[in-house]
Amino acid sequence: MKKQKTLAGSAQFSGVALHTGVRATLKIVPAPENTGILFRRVDLPDKPVIPAAAQCVVDVQRGTTIAVSKTAIVYTVEHILSALHAWGITNCIVEMDGLEPPIADGSSMPYYNMIAEAGGAVEQQGEIRSFTPPHPIWIEGGNTRIAMFPDNERLTISCVTSFKDCPFDPQFFEYELDTESYITEIAPARTFVNFADLKQLLAMGLVKGGSLDAAAIIHNGAIICKEKLRFQNEIVRHKILDMIGDLKLTGMNLTGRIIAIRPGHPKNVELAKTLIELAEKQA
């Protein structure tokens, strides 16, 4: 059994939130064993806590949103959760002064580095449950297909994406989750959006904090971003980044082999909930 982990210290990060466009500050602090990952809205009365748990997911459109009430809500938690998953952190409190964490450059690299600045992960005495599915799992819907197979040793994600007008299409990447390789292979991959979807999001009053500093835009056979692509297959790597974050919502140390075709938050969260249900049946 693997040991639970928390942070060696605390760290803070500030920046503009993607959808609200307001200045946001996020602070991560250590927590005792069996706390789990908790988001605390320090800007609200009584500072309500929202567990990073699949059962608290209330929206999966353009990001993963968790809530315990109409006001105690946090948008787009997947990037910070992805970094916490890579570090193996099982217990910490993420303090936020608003609805959203900072988008930063659209990747999880700032959050991974923030955890490193806090001293990284430290083991605790308690054990975390490790789980691999007892049999193959199949999730599908729309253009998405996800299969997960048992593997008691590691978590591996093989992913394929395809987007209209993308100059490098389709894209493929296979990744085995590891703290050391995450910072070079996955964390730098930035979020992206199709130009047609961007216009729709703007019309909905969203992405007020969006810019070429925080995302890549697919438009007319080109990828538009402030700097050059960090990887030729940066889009598929970001999809893996998101999946790693969404699977953290299980609260378990997961192992298995995942094959994902055009994954997104809706089916990522469905997979997380399916794994929780299977684990509860085995308990």
The chain-wide mean pLDDT, for the chain, equals 89
Average pLDDT (24-35) is 95
Note if 265 is an active site residue. Answer: yes
Query: Residue 176 domain-assigned?
Result: no
Q: Is residue 234 part of a domain?
A: no
pLDDT of residue 156: 98
For residue 241, the tally of other CB atoms under 10 A from its CB is: 29
Which pLDDT band holds residue 172 (cuts at 50, 70, 90)?
very high
Residue 35 has pLDDT above 60, yes or no: yes
* 111: in domain: yes
Tell me whether residue 151 is in a domain.
Answer: no
What pLDDT sits at residue 232?
87
Residue 81 falls inside a structural domain:
yes
In a domain, 77, yes or no: yes
The 10s digit of each residue's pLDDT in 100-157 is 898 888 899 999 999 999 999 999 999 999 999 999 999 999 999 999 999 999 999 9
CA distance 267 to 264: 6
Q: Domain of 45?
A: 2-129
For residue 120, give the CATH number of its domain. 3.30.230.20
Number of domains in the chain: 1
What span, in angstroms and rounded, lies between the C-alpha atoms of 127 and 133?
19
Q: What percent of the chain has pLDDT over 90?
A: 70
Spot the catalytic one: 19, 85, 238, 265.
Answer: 265
In-domain check, residue 7: yes
Residue 162 · residue 170 · CB < 8 Å: yes
Dump pLDDT digits (tens) for 198-215.
555 555 555 554 555 556
**Does residue 192 carry a pLDDT above 90?**
no
On whether residue 152 sits in a domain, the answer given is no
Mean pLDDT of 48-69: 95
